[in-house]
Chain A
């Protein structure tokens, strides 16, 4: 069989530096795929030897997109190591910020990072605004900002833009590609919301900033709790937060969810063919406690799409290996023991990946030796299968509206649908958590920090902060010796999804999801982008390394071919 290799680098509209290489046959069907992280920074190395209390602010810089997630996980890992339990108010504030980030992140992902794979901006210019208004009503009784005048404005803005001759960000898109299915009117509706979503994501950021000072890179956490005590005592600030979330909820139910249903309608065929389906292994760690008991997310492990059997999640079964990654020591190790030193074997002379050897800075995490997919899809699958009262009503409502079955979510489009449902339910539960906070304050619980005397904390210990964050399961693992960080490791959602092959040649989730995909035009690999984007990659997070010996921190080797 004659095959041909295609390199897509950079993958844009993601965080970080990702390359995808695929091998296609004569029918343009992908037979093999390699995902490669192309940047190494070594934040974990930088963390070594520092005061454990300082880890948060530096670990946070692992990523500017999931920024709060790393901040929290890092501080929680240190708290666990020291046995510090944070007060309920602190946990609520942390949850409010994290869940707001879920919503913000999901909206930005769908509209700004992903929708251009499906929405043809040039087609929207030819739409009839009157028809578009009608079309929107097919998916929602009161569509978001849907007057003809408004749509005309949007169209005019876009037309002027295109006429001006400089397409800027939209230059060299895949406009006119045969894989675009939406009608001109549908494209206009989605473009309308693309622009509105810019405002919405800005507003949610304001809500986050109320408790966290700013975003990206919030600054309100310390080991033992949160610093933003004055905010919870200020009814105006609490009110501001609620009103923003209320606005956002409107947007989600009147724009995001209907747009997603529209997308499902248009691409139903790809759902039926299972486009973008990976191994069917899903993992979730659960979390976000409700005051009345239970948690927002369920923990568990699903293998091979077997929704009837949910194994309990056990963090000690996580290993990482580096047989195909640019690090020394190929053997699988637990994150606490992670011992890896950069071992860069370079690219081929023509710049392509050495696909038979090591080919990425991303390591290969495995659960009981198996590849796992993490993220909103995994959470919705596990929550639904475990009959979670927090998840089931939302999933059922959406499944009914879109006539999707559970297995349909395990596709490129389905991943996005799961993300939209999650944004919707997170938004709702933010209100619950806020009322818990108000109740506490009302009954004079103003505590936001658990007191400890640092000098009397153990000199040696270890701890983990494991959380569901927008892209999946995030674990930060810290080992403390002599009062300093001896070892630090982050096992990040994108590390799971963007994982390379392992010693047993099991493909990572990105790689697996691409196999069997047919490209309409190999010079414009839009289908690859769609599937990869559906995971919401975040590469800055994924690439990391720790040198347990702590001695040779900047050692690297270049192997001779």
Chain B
């Protein structure tokens, strides 16, 4: 399915990243901007050059295709296409996330020294245009204030005048005391004037430049640079003809528009019930989440929730909490104001319920207030009052996640956090909209950590973690000994056992297992050797269905343990067409004997796809002409476990590639089962087969599986991340032509169509044929053979993905 997302902001990227995890979905972002999606929240940083465009460019999954410079002008919902002036994009599902357009009070498109504040271009214009000018900002809301704050920190502007039409700042509900405080803070900069109850009445132009601005109150501003921060309108002109719209595109609680194949989220969407329009990042991502869930067939609904917001200004701390049903015009609203020095807490209460809180330099526990709103609990004014002095948690640092300063300090101290990255396991602060990341980093830098105490704490933590691991190892060994009474493992020497038995290090463990000698302490080696050798043999049936024998051929190339040891010692490969001695009646009798004698005990390995077309008769096995499907069903029903080996058995693989002439499917689909263990690959590296089987031999259970039922120890590595050529990718050193100088030097193959970024497997770590080589090493690149049939329909070519999709 092809999902087209129109838009170039946080909501679009959030959607695209979440959707691109689904391998069967092709995700395309169509953006009118000339730059890849970036984070508008941090645009201020571009104005004062504290950030670069790269720094605010949003991370996008490489599977997502991005089409830039495509301003969508219309939707053709019958043909399921969106149209720009130059192109048409087909979609199966469309998601509109175009956000909004900034408003301006008059047309500024042909004026050099006027701008709005919404895009990278705007920032460039402002940064360049404001130098030594009398900057005029029109507006009173958050955008205008944040911009004012940015310009204040920068000495480029000669003067700055904020022209406010009415007599409030930030929001009409904000109390006069707070307004005055904010004004005082800003006007402490002699360049800044905040001009209430005023408006531009005239401007004088010369050669596309305003050289003078005249205001209602008679203010004359010469040589100005004008910036509009007056508000935003949903950016949905292109959708008005096709979809039901009001202010925004009307959506239901699943974010679905009047056309069921089209969703709309973020600032462009308006809820049909209640008219809500999102304004905050958290709301936009929540809506995106709802739309994704609905696409996946789930039905969570979007309901406006309590919003927590902060104004991103450095000069003062500002927090705003709003209940979803807050109605500013309700005559029953009462304001409770608690102020102390430069701290002001403003509570708006309606019938004993808290509806809004706006705090400046506040220490109040916002989470408590939030839950008051959510629970719709009656308020206790006494609590507000006593709360005034409480400052346990300190200021709110992250408004998206509701994390306060002291909570963070505690985490930083306790865990000895020294960088933003180290904080991740303990707190999500700074990771949703990213607005406060800088504050969080500053806090980390400012929080002293006693090295001695931190070390002790760390030691204690490690000791308890180790104890946990040891307990796990003991449990494993006990289980092993229960299963193998004749081959007891020693419970001593736990330190070595730890390295190899601890599940999180399964990869290392299997490398050491599978390299047989295991490179471990000699004592331990002896123990495990004893354990694995001469085990009760596990009977194995290996069925070849619609296959090419590639996996069998790969299997006999296994080493450590070698295939002869494997066959003669560890496994009882009782039925395997490629290798077994008997044929015809003899092989079929052998099969029947295993099915009967080892019912419920044998492992079934299936190689090849299952053709369902022609009633399954594209494949028949045995003298009675049993179809492949019937044989599979018969053998699978008595198996202790079923392993689908190779990409064909996984989802049909190459046999099911378009147009899938034989109606081939994978084993799980053919059997309608969800417990099939998948080992995709074309062919699958024998290390991964043997490792998985050895795990079963030792513990009678399979290693931990991922969501596609693949063993995590082998499939949780993205090839690109562990690629030997990754350094060249990062340096942008690419092979551009087969056999060129880059190829001779082993540069990155991404431009030659390597699909390593889209493939999850351990090839780059274990390689093939006893670690001799792998497709990237021989300069060809990966085509994601382990990703199943999608590899053969989309990846098996020597071109980057973008080129391919032109054909659609």
Contact = CB atoms under 8 A, between A and B. Distances in A.
A160 B537 CA distance: 13
A266 interface: no
Contacts of A15: 548-549, 578
A556 B773 contact: no
Contacts, number: 310
Interface string B758-783: 00000000011110111111111101
A440 to B, nearest CB: 13
B683 interface: yes
Contacts of A168: 537, 567, 571-574
Interface in B520-573: 537, 539, 544, 546-554, 556-557, 559, 562-564, 567-569, 571-573
A216 interface: yes
B695 interface: no
A17 B544 contact: yes
Interface in A253-303: none
Given A58-B792, A61-B654, A172-B590, A12 B580 contact: yes
B746 to A, nearest CB: 5
Nearest to B779: A227
B574 A13 contact: no
Interface residues of A, number: 99
Given A16-B549, A558-B614, A210 B682 contact: no
Interface band, chain B:
35 or more
A236 B661 CA distance: 46
Interface in A528-542: 529, 540
Contact of B550 (A61, A108, A116, A553): A61
B613 interface: yes
A7 interface: yes
B548 A58 contact: no
Interface in B705-748: 737-739, 743-746
Nearest to B659: A553
Contacts of B620: 17, 38-39, 347
B775 A213 contact: yes
A83 interface: no
Contacts of A42: 661-662
A169 B594 CA distance: 12
A202 B770 contact: yes
Interface in B564-621: 564, 567-569, 571-574, 576-590, 593, 611, 613-615, 617-621
Contacts of A222: 738, 780, 798
Given A46-B657, A161-B568, A13 B743 contact: no
A233 interface: yes
A171 B797 contact: no
A220 interface: yes
B652 to A, nearest CB: 11
Contacts of A39: 546, 618-620, 628
A447 interface: yes
A155 interface: no
A224 interface: yes
Contacts of A11: 583-584
Nearest to B555: A216
Interface string B770-808: 101111111111010100000010001110000000000
Contacts of B589: 172
Nearest to B745: A230
Contact of B778 (A12, A173, A212): A212
Given A174-B582, A216-B553, 16 more contacts: A12-B579, A17-B621, A61-B653, A64-B683, A113-B578, A158-B568, A169-B574, A170-B580, A206-B769, A212-B773, A227-B780, A229-B743, A230-B779, A351-B623, A351-B626, A554-B662
16 contacts: A7-B584, A12-B577, A15-B548, A17-B619, A39-B618, A40-B662, A42-B662, A46-B657, A168-B573, A169-B567, A198-B556, A198-B564, A199-B562, A202-B557, A219-B780, A222-B738
Interface of A: 7-17, 19, 38-43, 45-46, 51, 53-54, 57-58, 61-65, 67, 108, 112-113, 116, 121, 157-158, 160-161, 164, 166, 168-174, 195, 198-199, 201-202, 205-206, 208-217, 219-222, 224-225, 227-231, 233, 342, 344, 346-347, 350-352, 446-449, 451, 523-525, 529, 540, 553-554, 556, 558
Interface of B: 537, 539, 544, 546-554, 556-557, 559, 562-564, 567-569, 571-574, 576-590, 593, 611, 613-615, 617-626, 628, 653-655, 657-664, 682-683, 737-739, 743-746, 767-770, 772-781, 783, 785, 792, 796-798
